[in-house]
């Protein structure tokens, strides 16, 4: 199953050349990730306040196939894959709302669940495992 997040490119998302900077492209993908968690009832505020686990991104890659400009209306599609009991990956595709079959950006992130105190891998919590199954 795919989760889709809609977003417009704002002037503040662009660099001096008038296009989206690579780090901003990853930020847009992360927004879609956060929205997908919220869509299944996972509160990041509560999750972070508990402080029992952390799920850092350990790898990120992004490829711009076409530039993104101020005013572009986008859909960010994401697909999750469980890699291990403590690890998952997300594949993103950013497409134009007006041309949904034209992929503008592809990105990937890999996440590892850890105990933030010991800095060791731990199993993904049930809520995240259920999110992986739904998305």
Cα separation of 112 and 3, whole Å?
A: 21
**CB of 102 within 8 A of CB of 96?**
yes
The residues assigned a catalytic role are 15
Q: Are strands 114-115 and 103-112 parallel, antiparallel or unpaired?
A: unpaired
What is the three-state SS of 33-79?
HHHHHHHCCCCHHHHHHHCCCECCEEEEEEEECCCCECCCEEEEEEE
């Amino acid at each position: 199953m795919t989760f889709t997040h809609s977003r417009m490119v704002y002037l503040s998302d662009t660099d001096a050349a008038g296009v989206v900077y690579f780090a901003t492209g990853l930020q847009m993908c992360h927004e879609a990730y956060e929205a997908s968690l919220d869509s299944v009832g996972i509160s990041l505020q509560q999750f972070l306040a508990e402080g029992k686990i952390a799920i850092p991104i350990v790898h990120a890659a992004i490829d711009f196939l076409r530039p993104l400009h101020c005013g572009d209306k986008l859909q960010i599609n994401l697909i999750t894959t469980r890699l291990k009991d403590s690890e998952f990956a997300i594949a993103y595709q950013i497409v134009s709302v007006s041309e949904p079959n034209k992929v503008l950006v592809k990105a990937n992130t890999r996440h590892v669940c850890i105990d933030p105190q010991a800095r060791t891998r731990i199993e993904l919590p049930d809520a995240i495992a259920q999110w992986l199954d739904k998305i």
